[in-house]
Amino acid sequence: MLLPIKANDPKSRLVIQVVSDSKSSSEMSGVSKEEEKSDEYSQDMTQAMGAVLTYRHELGMNYNFIRPDLIVGSCLQTPEDVDKLRKIGVKTIFCLQQDPDLEYFGVDIRSIQAYAKTCSDIQHIRCEIRDFDAFDLRMRLPAVVSTLYKAVKRNGGVTYIHCTAGMGRAPAVALTYMFWVQGYKLMEAHKLLMSKRSCFPKLDAIRNATIDILTGLKKKTISLKLKDKGFSIVEISGLDIGWGQRIPLTLDKETRFWSLKRELPEGQFEYKYIIDGEWTHNELEPFTGPNKDGHTNNYAKVVDDPTSVDGATRERLTSEDPELLEEERLKLIQFLETCSEAEV
């Protein structure tokens, strides 16, 4: 069972500014409720993403050209936004939002989709990725980028990739596309992206999704245990659920240990215990040194065989600036061409 939380384990500080490209109708008729929702969303985004991020929904759709053929931006809010994108050459609108994202800001996605269908020169595609969730991003990237790749081949022109704020999921998908398809090194693409739009794509999710395709998705079950000291509730945040949720542990009354078993794919997963509401790490399990913000987290490292060919590939591609071999890029393209699409 997953329980939503307000993560109070602050991460790095990165100030994000958004410049509006268009005004929504709500701006003309009073926006106090919109402003409150934007404030709350920005706070949740900051806590979950590990960076100070600000999104002003009431200012309307905003975006940046990353390349002449690739735009990253915030969500469309009205059917009129479709026409704004048509005027700048957009042929594919690629939406990554889930229903709760749309409901939160009252966006009528059906009216936007219906209007786009009446236009012969643009296609609206929706592929969901969960907001603020790096693990879901990792697991969804292969199918989502496959759908994007096929749409770009089919439609040509300019592609508009968006989530809600255009700061997490959308830049991550654009960055992955640049890395897998357009021939960029990962950090070369990241540098270009950040020079055009302030955002916070999860690089580790992209690295791991790349390795998952190239070496196969291998999983193992890990076991975590914590000695009871009269605790009432013990939970864990992090692992594969991100810092915005928590998983309860089970107390064995005979051994007096709180425990959790969790199947995880290969990779390193940081986590923290929440004991009766207090965040802490367990010194009897592997833990990181204090990070740049002074926080110490436990971690679980899941590996198959580090001495194998796949292990060497994982080691190389988890480096700071991985570069794909030509045969690896060809394998990724082949995967994108044959993978089942993720459109909903």
Q: Using CA atoms, how far apart are residues 20 and 122, in angstroms rounded to an integer?
A: 23
Specify whether the CB–CB gap between 245 and 214 falls below 8 A.
no
Q: Which helix (H) or strand (E) holds 83?
A: helix 80-87
Using one digit for the tens of pLDDT, what is the confidence trace for 134-177? 899 999 999 999 999 999 999 999 999 999 999 999 999 999 99
State how far the Cα of 255 lies from the Cα of 252, in Å rounded to an integer: 6
Residue 243 has pLDDT above 90, yes or no: no
Q: Report the percentage of the chain scoring pLDDT > 70.
A: 88
At 341, the pLDDT band (50, 70, 90 cuts) reads: confident
CB atoms within 10 A of CB 261: 10
d(C-alpha 140, C-alpha 187), whole Å: 21
Instruction: List helix spans (H) across 156-288.
Output: 169-180, 186-196, 203-215
pLDDT at 324: 96
Strand partners, 125: 94
pLDDT at position 201, please? 96
Angle between helices 326-338 and 203-215 (to 10 degrees): 90
Sequence-distant (6+) residues with CB within 8 A of 137 are 129, 130, 169, 172, 202, 205, 209
d(CA 91, CA 69) in angstroms, rounded, equals 10
pTM: 0.83
pLDDT at position 20, please? 40
Answer yes or no: is pLDDT of 2 > 60: no
Instruction: State the pLDDT at residue 45.
Output: 82
User: How many of the other CB atoms lie within 10 Å of CB of 89?
Assistant: 16
C-alpha of 176 from chain center: 11
- Beta pairing partners, 70: 67, 159
Does 244 score more than 80 pLDDT?
no
Question: What is the model's pLDDT at position 230?
Answer: 97
Alpha helices for 16-62 (secondary structure H): 32-49
Q: What local confidence, expressed as pLDDT, does residue 344 receive? A: 58
Per-residue pLDDT of 246-260, as tens digits, reads 999 999 999 999 999
**Taking 70 as the threshold, does the pLDDT of residue 5 lie above it?**
no
Chain position carrying tokens 């509006």? 20
Q: Provide the β-strand partners of residue 223.
A: 261
Confidence at residue 307, expressed as pLDDT on a 0 to 100 scale: 78
pLDDT at position 81 is 98
Options 75, 95, 127, 163, the catalytic residue: 163
| Per-residue pLDDT tens digits for 277-336 | 999 999 999 999 887 667 899 999 998 787 788 888 999 999 999 999 999 999 999 999
* pLDDT tens, position by position, 17-65: 343 444 444 444 455 688 999 999 988 887 766 678 899 999 999 999 9
Question: Active-site residue 163, yes or no?
Answer: yes
Query: In DSSP terms, which residues pair with 126 in a beta bridge?
Result: 95
Per-residue model confidence (pLDDT) at position 21? 43
The pLDDT value recorded for residue 18 is 40
Indicate the SS3 state at residue 254: coil
Query: Are the beta carbons of 181 and 175 closer than 8 angstroms?
Result: no
Instruction: Give pLDDT, residue 290.
Output: 85
Single-letter amino acid, residue 198: S
Quick check: 196 and 19 in contact, CB under 8 A? no
88 φ/ψ sector (left φ>0, alpha ψ -120 to 50, else beta): alpha
Averaged pLDDT, 74-100: 98
Torsion of CA 333, 338, 339, 340, to 10 degrees: 150
Structural domains of the chain, ranges and CATH numbers in brackets: 34-212 (3.90.190.10), 219-302 (2.60.40.10)
Q: Give tens-digit pLDDT for 192-218.
A: 999 999 999 999 999 999 999 999 988
pLDDT at 1 over 90: no
Rounded CA-CA distance 24/57 in Å is: 9
Burial class (CB in 10 A: 0-12, 13-18, 19+), 284: exposed
